[in-house]
Protein backbone atom coordinates (compact mmCIF):
# COMPACT_ATOMS: atom_id res chain seq x y z
CA UNK A 1 0.00 0.00 0.00
CA UNK A 2 1.31 3.43 -0.96
CA UNK A 3 1.87 5.67 2.05
CA UNK A 4 1.23 9.30 1.00
CA UNK A 5 3.99 11.88 1.03
CA UNK A 6 6.15 13.69 1.41
CA UNK A 7 4.76 15.82 -1.41
CA UNK A 8 6.85 18.13 -3.58
CA UNK A 9 5.61 20.43 -6.35
CA UNK A 10 8.24 21.45 -8.90
CA UNK A 11 6.99 24.40 -10.90
CA UNK A 12 7.51 27.99 -11.91
CA UNK A 13 6.70 30.74 -9.34
CA UNK A 14 3.03 31.02 -10.40
CA UNK A 15 -0.32 29.51 -9.42
CA UNK A 16 -0.91 28.20 -12.93
CA UNK A 17 -1.60 24.49 -13.25
CA UNK A 18 -0.67 23.66 -9.66
CA UNK A 19 -2.99 25.88 -7.66
CA UNK A 20 -5.89 23.40 -7.62
CA UNK A 21 -3.44 20.78 -6.31
CA UNK A 22 -2.30 23.17 -3.58
CA UNK A 23 -5.92 23.93 -2.67
CA UNK A 24 -6.71 20.22 -2.42
CA UNK A 25 -3.69 19.52 -0.22
CA UNK A 26 -4.37 22.50 2.02
CA UNK A 27 -8.04 21.60 2.45
CA UNK A 28 -7.10 18.01 3.29
CA UNK A 29 -4.70 19.23 5.97
CA UNK A 30 -1.57 18.12 4.12
CA UNK A 31 1.81 19.80 3.90
CA UNK A 32 3.99 19.98 0.80
CA UNK A 33 7.26 21.42 -0.38
CA UNK A 34 7.80 23.74 -3.31
CA UNK A 35 10.76 23.40 -5.64
CA UNK A 36 10.46 26.77 -7.37
CA UNK A 37 11.98 26.85 -10.84
CA UNK A 38 13.31 30.16 -12.13
CA UNK A 39 13.29 30.86 -15.85
CA UNK A 40 17.09 30.96 -15.79
CA UNK A 41 17.22 27.45 -14.33
CA UNK A 42 14.66 26.17 -16.83
CA UNK A 43 16.46 27.67 -19.81
CA UNK A 44 19.67 25.89 -18.87
CA UNK A 45 17.88 22.79 -20.10
CA UNK A 46 18.92 20.07 -17.68
CA UNK A 47 15.65 20.06 -15.75
CA UNK A 48 13.65 20.14 -18.99
CA UNK A 49 15.56 17.11 -20.29
CA UNK A 50 14.74 15.20 -17.11
CA UNK A 51 10.98 15.83 -17.39
CA UNK A 52 9.05 13.02 -19.04
CA UNK A 53 7.15 15.28 -21.44
CA UNK A 54 9.69 18.10 -21.40
CA UNK A 55 7.46 20.36 -19.32
CA UNK A 56 6.45 21.31 -15.81
CA UNK A 57 4.80 20.91 -13.36
CA UNK A 58 6.22 17.81 -11.70
CA UNK A 59 4.68 16.26 -8.61
CA UNK A 60 6.40 13.89 -6.22
CA UNK A 61 4.61 11.73 -3.68
CA UNK A 62 7.44 9.96 -1.92
CA UNK A 63 9.18 7.87 -4.57
CA UNK A 64 6.32 8.32 -7.05
CA UNK A 65 6.97 11.01 -9.68
CA UNK A 66 4.11 12.26 -11.82
CA UNK A 67 3.74 14.71 -14.68
CA UNK A 68 0.49 16.26 -16.02
CA UNK A 69 -1.47 18.27 -13.46
CA UNK A 70 -4.75 16.41 -13.92
CA UNK A 71 -2.92 13.18 -13.09
CA UNK A 72 -1.82 14.81 -9.82
CA UNK A 73 -5.41 15.66 -8.97
CA UNK A 74 -6.71 12.18 -9.76
CA UNK A 75 -3.92 10.51 -7.80
CA UNK A 76 -4.66 12.65 -4.74
CA UNK A 77 -8.39 12.06 -5.22
CA UNK A 78 -7.85 8.32 -5.00
CA UNK A 79 -5.54 8.79 -2.01
CA UNK A 80 -7.93 10.94 0.03
CA UNK A 81 -11.33 9.65 -1.07
CA UNK A 82 -12.15 12.59 -3.32
CA UNK A 83 -13.34 10.60 -6.35
CA UNK A 84 -17.05 10.24 -5.58
CA UNK A 85 -18.83 7.51 -3.66
CA UNK A 86 -19.13 5.04 -6.55
CA UNK A 87 -18.26 4.43 -10.20
CA UNK A 88 -21.18 6.52 -11.41
CA UNK A 89 -20.00 9.60 -9.51
CA UNK A 90 -16.39 8.93 -10.55
CA UNK A 91 -17.43 8.90 -14.21
CA UNK A 92 -19.34 12.16 -13.80
CA UNK A 93 -16.37 13.75 -12.02
CA UNK A 94 -14.11 12.77 -14.91
CA UNK A 95 -16.59 14.44 -17.25
CA UNK A 96 -16.65 17.62 -15.15
CA UNK A 97 -12.87 17.74 -14.89
CA UNK A 98 -12.52 17.35 -18.65
CA UNK A 99 -14.93 20.27 -19.04
CA UNK A 100 -12.78 22.32 -16.69
CA UNK A 101 -9.72 21.40 -18.72
CA UNK A 102 -11.41 22.57 -21.93
CA UNK A 103 -12.10 25.96 -20.38
CA UNK A 104 -8.61 26.16 -18.87
CA UNK A 105 -7.05 25.64 -22.29
CA UNK A 106 -9.18 28.46 -23.74
CA UNK A 107 -8.19 30.68 -20.81
CA UNK A 108 -4.48 29.89 -21.27
CA UNK A 109 -4.70 30.62 -24.99
CA UNK A 110 -6.21 34.03 -24.20
CA UNK A 111 -3.68 34.88 -21.49
CA UNK A 112 -0.57 33.81 -23.35
CA UNK A 113 -1.45 34.28 -27.02
CA UNK A 114 -4.29 36.72 -27.64
CA UNK A 115 -4.92 38.87 -24.57
CA UNK A 116 -5.12 42.34 -26.09
CA UNK A 117 -7.08 41.39 -29.18
CA UNK A 118 -9.16 38.59 -27.71
CA UNK A 119 -10.17 39.63 -24.20
CA UNK A 120 -13.41 41.43 -25.09
CA UNK A 121 -14.78 38.54 -27.15
CA UNK A 122 -13.66 36.00 -24.55
CA UNK A 123 -15.39 37.85 -21.72
CA UNK A 124 -18.56 38.21 -23.81
CA UNK A 125 -18.65 34.46 -24.45
CA UNK A 126 -17.72 33.50 -20.90
CA UNK A 127 -21.23 33.15 -19.38
CA UNK A 128 -22.08 30.52 -21.98
CA UNK A 129 -18.85 28.69 -21.15
CA UNK A 130 -19.78 28.65 -17.46
CA UNK A 131 -23.41 27.64 -18.03
CA UNK A 132 -22.76 23.86 -18.05
CA UNK A 133 -21.41 24.03 -14.52
CA UNK A 134 -24.45 26.03 -13.40
CA UNK A 135 -26.62 23.32 -14.97
CA UNK A 136 -24.77 20.55 -13.13
CA UNK A 137 -25.16 22.34 -9.83
CA UNK A 138 -28.89 22.81 -10.43
CA UNK A 139 -29.20 19.04 -10.90
CA UNK A 140 -27.50 18.22 -7.60
CA UNK A 141 -29.58 19.15 -4.53
CA UNK A 142 -30.65 22.41 -6.19
CA UNK A 143 -27.11 23.71 -6.15
CA UNK A 144 -26.63 23.35 -2.40
CA UNK A 145 -24.01 20.58 -2.52
CA UNK A 146 -20.91 20.05 -4.63
CA UNK A 147 -20.58 19.77 -8.40
CA UNK A 148 -21.31 16.02 -8.16
CA UNK A 149 -22.58 14.18 -5.10
CA UNK A 150 -22.52 15.15 -1.44
CA UNK A 151 -18.80 15.26 -0.78
CA UNK A 152 -16.02 17.43 -2.11
CA UNK A 153 -13.98 16.05 -4.99
CA UNK A 154 -10.86 16.80 -6.98
CA UNK A 155 -13.06 18.34 -9.68
CA UNK A 156 -14.46 20.86 -7.18
CA UNK A 157 -10.99 22.20 -6.39
CA UNK A 158 -10.12 22.41 -10.07
CA UNK A 159 -13.36 24.15 -11.03
CA UNK A 160 -13.32 26.61 -8.15
CA UNK A 161 -9.71 27.56 -8.83
CA UNK A 162 -10.42 28.25 -12.49
CA UNK A 163 -13.59 30.22 -11.76
CA UNK A 164 -11.66 32.37 -9.27
CA UNK A 165 -9.17 33.19 -12.02
CA UNK A 166 -12.03 34.24 -14.26
CA UNK A 167 -13.46 36.46 -11.53
CA UNK A 168 -10.19 38.40 -11.70
CA UNK A 169 -10.38 38.57 -15.48
CA UNK A 170 -14.09 39.42 -15.60
CA UNK A 171 -15.55 40.26 -12.15
CA UNK A 172 -19.15 40.12 -13.39
CA UNK A 173 -18.89 36.78 -15.14
CA UNK A 174 -21.09 34.94 -12.62
CA UNK A 175 -23.99 37.37 -12.91
CA UNK A 176 -26.07 34.80 -14.78
CA UNK A 177 -24.80 31.87 -12.69
CA UNK A 178 -26.06 32.40 -9.13
CA UNK A 179 -25.63 28.77 -8.11
CA UNK A 180 -22.04 28.75 -9.32
CA UNK A 181 -21.33 32.01 -7.49
CA UNK A 182 -22.73 30.62 -4.23
CA UNK A 183 -20.87 27.36 -4.73
CA UNK A 184 -17.51 29.11 -5.15
CA UNK A 185 -18.17 31.10 -2.00
CA UNK A 186 -19.22 27.97 -0.11
CA UNK A 187 -16.20 25.91 -1.13
CA UNK A 188 -13.69 28.67 -0.46
CA UNK A 189 -15.20 29.20 2.99
CA UNK A 190 -14.08 25.75 4.15
CA UNK A 191 -11.83 26.60 7.14
CA UNK A 192 -8.51 25.08 6.04
CA UNK A 193 -8.98 26.17 2.46
CA UNK A 194 -9.92 29.70 3.50
CA UNK A 195 -6.79 29.90 5.65
CA UNK A 196 -4.65 28.92 2.68
CA UNK A 197 -6.36 31.30 0.26
CA UNK A 198 -5.90 34.17 2.72
CA UNK A 199 -2.22 33.36 3.28
CA UNK A 200 0.64 35.36 1.80
CA UNK A 201 1.87 32.11 0.24
CA UNK A 202 -1.18 32.10 -2.01
CA UNK A 203 -1.81 35.82 -2.42
CA UNK A 204 1.77 36.70 -3.35
CA UNK A 205 2.01 34.02 -6.05
CA UNK A 206 0.91 35.45 -9.44
CA UNK A 207 -1.88 33.68 -11.31
CA UNK A 208 0.05 33.52 -14.58
CA UNK A 209 3.61 33.90 -15.73
CA UNK A 210 3.23 36.93 -17.97
CA UNK A 211 1.45 39.35 -15.64
CA UNK A 212 -1.85 39.11 -17.53
CA UNK A 213 -4.94 38.18 -15.52
Inside any domain, residue 213: no
Inside any domain, residue 33: yes
pTM of the model: 0.96
Domain boundary among 80, 98, 128: 80
Inside any domain, residue 177: yes
Inside any domain, residue 205: no
The order of strands in the sheet holding 58-61 is: 32-36, 7-11, 58-61, 64-67
Helical H runs in 44-114? 46-50, 69-80, 87-113
Verify that 62 and 108 share a domain, yes or no: no
**CATH number for 147:** 1.20.1050.10
Q: How far apart are CA 211 and CA 193, in angstroms?
A: 25
Residue 61 belongs to domain spanning: 7-80
CB 140 within 8 A of CB 148: yes
Return per-residue pLDDT of the chain as tens, 213 residues: 566 879 999 999 999 999 999 999 999 999 999 999 999 999 999 999 999 999 999 999 999 999 999 999 999 999 999 999 999 999 999 999 999 999 999 999 999 999 999 999 999 999 999 999 999 999 999 999 999 999 999 999 999 999 999 999 999 999 999 999 999 999 999 999 999 999 999 999 999 877 677
Q: How far apart are CA 122 and CA 165, in angstroms?
A: 14
Overall domain count for the chain? 2
Amino acid sequence: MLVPGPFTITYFPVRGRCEAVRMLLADQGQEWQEDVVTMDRWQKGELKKSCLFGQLPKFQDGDLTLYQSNAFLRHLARTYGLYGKDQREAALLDMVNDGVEDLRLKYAQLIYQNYENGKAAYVEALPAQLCPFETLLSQNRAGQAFIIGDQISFADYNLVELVRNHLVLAPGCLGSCPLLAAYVERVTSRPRLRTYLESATHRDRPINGNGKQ
